[in-house]
């Protein structure tokens, strides 16, 4: 008989095959669990409808199937009236029975959300040793495994890139290759997810940063070296409190936009292995000096490839300062999904500006690009946001008035 995926409740339409709890040739009793499936809300076990022998699997672990799909074939055990068996089945040997029991003991204990984290990050959850009760795998176990694997992959990449001169000489001209794995592959995966999920819209603006540059020069004379990015981040924290729609997440399943009260701002860092975004937590509660110190600490860890999962998790908004690299006058930055906005600071240059009384003066003008999720916010709101940021940059005294 065919065992099919049936609706186990809550309007199930499809499920993912987690694992088999039996193997071909096993004898099973009626109602004995034979397959574990994962829906979008829970993990469930499919029981055997009849006693019999597992003959063939029709699906594979990791496959997503719809309701009505045949999962496996069971050959039923039927008895004649005389009590003898209509078909003789091979009884597993003691060793085979032992291994069958051992396989069933390997069922994975983890919540649906934990499984989702593993699945979305390509983590083989069956390889993780759970730290919870009865060996249950927790969210922290998955994140810890990801961190260990990332460090291992990055170490391997470094080793592969250390090609000696003799090897290079024997490679075909113009056919050198670089591995598309590790961080580079993860960056690609996140960028594709973001572009296919979020309808990006980018707003461009010119910001007068003359006074901020002068203020930095003044405090540098007092042996207080603070980067422009620290000032930008503090100003953005004020703007985000006034325009919380850009510090939000879209929960499509529950049809709500979640306004996040805490400001965890990520700062893109360019490393030899690719872009990585450490996150400064609770920027709204930090002084400009504290932001500078925290940013310096995380940047150093990023460049040394020593960031932990905690250092790169929980971001609610992201900034990218490419101005110091020079030459960049604009871009269309890709949002860090599931965030809803990202702002990029570009090249600053001296430009003639006409004042309100028609005087021409030289000012330091910086270009910015702000990408936002057009499902969540509109262009007019983005303009108001950048106008507020420009106001704080043009007159640092306004910035100081807002500090707590």
Map the chain to HEC letters: CEEECCCCCCCCCEEEEEEECCCCCCEECCCCEEEEEECCCCEEEEECCCCEEEEEECCCCCCEEECCCEEEEEEECCECCCCCECCCCCCCCHHHHHHHHHHHHCCCCECHHHHHHHHHCCCCHHHCCCCCHHHCECHHHHHHHHHHHHHHHHHHHHHHHCCCHHHHHCCCCCCCCCCCCHHHHHHHHHHHHHHHHCCEEEEEEEEECHHHHHHHHHHHCCCCCCCHHHHHHHHHHHHHHHCHHHCEEEECCCCEEEECCCCCEEECEEECCEEECCEECCHHHCCHHHHHHHHHHHHHHHHCCCCCCHHHCCCCEEEEECHHHCCCCCCCCCCCCCCCEEEEEEEEEEEEEECCCCCEEEEEEEEEEEEEECCCCCHHHHHHHHHHHHHHHHCHHHHHHHCC
| pLDDT at residue 11 in the model | 58
Asked if residue 289 is part of any domain, the answer here is yes
CA atoms within 13 A on the CB side of 65: 21
Q: Give the C-alpha distances (Å, rounded to integers) separating 331 from 39, 164, 199, 253.
A: 40, 37, 16, 32
Asked if residue 38 is part of any domain, the answer here is yes
Q: Is 268 left (phi over 0), alpha (psi -120 to 50) or beta?
A: beta
> What is the span of the domain harbouring residue 30?
2-77+88-107
| pLDDT at residue 233 in the model | 95
Average of per-residue pLDDT values in the chain: 82
387 with 292, same domain: the answer is yes
276 with 381, same domain: the answer is yes
| pLDDT at residue 241 in the model | 95
How many CB atoms neighbour CB 240 within 10 A?
24
Q: Rounded to an integer, what distance in angstroms lies between the CA atom of residue 260 and that of residue 263? A: 7
Query: Which residues of the chain fall short of a pLDDT of 70?
Result: 8-12, 39-43, 78-107, 134, 153-176, 181-183, 326-328, 402-404
307 with 212, same domain: the answer is yes
Q: Rounded to an integer, what distance in angstroms lies between the CA atom of residue 244 and that of residue 286? A: 18
Predicted model pTM: 0.56
For the question of residue 374 being annotated catalytic, the response is: yes
How many CB atoms neighbour CB 316 within 10 A?
26
How many CB atoms neighbour CB 154 within 10 A?
17
Q: What is the CATH number of the domain that holds 13?
A: 2.40.50.100
Asked if residue 124 is part of any domain, the answer here is no
103 with 192, same domain: the answer is no
Number of structural domains (the chain) is 2
239 with 386, same domain: the answer is yes
Asked if residue 157 is part of any domain, the answer here is no
95 with 193, same domain: the answer is no
| pLDDT at residue 291 in the model | 95
| pLDDT at residue 41 in the model | 53
| pLDDT at residue 173 in the model | 45
Q: Rounded to an integer, what distance in angstroms lies between the CA atom of residue 346 and that of residue 367? A: 5
96 with 214, same domain: the answer is no
**Quick one: which of 153, 130, 154 has its CA closest to 140?**
130
219 with 97, same domain: the answer is no
Asked if residue 226 is part of any domain, the answer here is yes
Token pair belonging to 123: 């983590």
Set 6, 200, 264, 374: catalytic member? 374
Asked if residue 125 is part of any domain, the answer here is no
| pLDDT at residue 176 in the model | 67
Q: Rounded to an integer, what distance in angstroms lies between the CA atom of residue 200 and that of residue 134? A: 45
Would you say 229 and 393 are in contact if contact means Cβ atoms under 8 Å apart? no
Q: Rounded to an integer, what distance in angstroms lies between the CA atom of residue 67 and that of residue 307? A: 43
| pLDDT at residue 42 in the model | 58
201 with 99, same domain: the answer is no
Asked if residue 365 is part of any domain, the answer here is yes
Q: What is the CATH number of the domain that holds 369?
A: 3.30.559.10
User: 234: burial class by Cβ within 10 Å (0-12, 13-18, 19+)?
Assistant: buried
| pLDDT at residue 403 in the model | 65
Token pair belonging to 213: 């540059």
178-202 residue pLDDT tens? 777 666 777 788 888 888 889 999 9
| pLDDT at residue 304 in the model | 86
């Amino acid at each position: 008989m065919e065992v099919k995926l049936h609706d186990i409740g809550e309007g199930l339409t499809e499920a993912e095959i987690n694992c088999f709890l039996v193997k071909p040739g096993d004898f099973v009793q009626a109602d004995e669990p034979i397959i574990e499936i994962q829906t979008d809300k829970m993990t469930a076990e499919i029981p055997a409808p009849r006693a019999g022998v597992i003959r063939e699997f029709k699906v594979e672990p990791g496959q997503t199937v719809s309701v009505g799909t045949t999962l496996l074939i069971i050959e039923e055990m039927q008895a004649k009236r005389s009590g003898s068996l209509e078909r003789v089945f091979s009884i597993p040997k003691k060793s085979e029975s032992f291994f069958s029991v051992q396989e069933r003991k390997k069922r994975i204990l983890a919540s649906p959300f934990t499984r989702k984290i593993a699945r979305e990050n390509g983590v083989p959850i069956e390889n993780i040793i759970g730290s919870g009760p009865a060996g249950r795998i927790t969210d922290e176990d998955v994140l810890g495994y990801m961190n260990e694997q990332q460090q291992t992959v990055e170490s391997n990449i470094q080793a592969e890139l250390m090609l000696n001169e003799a090897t290079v000489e024997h490679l075909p001209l113009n056919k050198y290759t670089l591995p598309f794995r590790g961080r580079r592959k993860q960056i690609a995966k996140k960028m594709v997810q973001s572009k296919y999920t979020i309808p990006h819209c980018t707003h461009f603006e010119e910001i007068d940063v003359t006074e901020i540059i002068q203020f930095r020069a003044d405090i540098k004379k007092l042996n207080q070296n603070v980067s422009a990015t620290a000032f930008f981040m503090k100003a953005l924290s004020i703007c985000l409190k006034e325009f919380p729609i850009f510090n939000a997440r879209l929960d499509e399943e529950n049809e709500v936009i979640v306004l996040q009260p805490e400001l965890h701002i990520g700062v893109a860092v360019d490393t030899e292995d690719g872009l990585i975004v450490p996150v400064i937590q609770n920027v709204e509660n930090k002084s400009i000096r504290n932001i500078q110190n925290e940013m310096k600490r995380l940047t150093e860890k990023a460049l040394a490839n020593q960031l932990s999962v905690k250092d790169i998790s929980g971001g609610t908004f992201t900034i990218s300062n490419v101005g110091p690299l020079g030459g960049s006058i604009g871009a269309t930055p890709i949002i860090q999904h599931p965030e809803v906005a990202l702002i990029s600071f570009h090249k600053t240059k001296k430009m003639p500006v006409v004042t309100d009384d028609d005087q021409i003066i030289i000012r330091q003008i910086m270009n910015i690009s702000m990408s936002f999720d057009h499902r969540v916010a509109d262009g007019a709101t983005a303009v108001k946001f950048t106008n507020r940021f420009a106001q704080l940059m043009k007159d640092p005294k306004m910035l100081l008035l807002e500090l707590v």
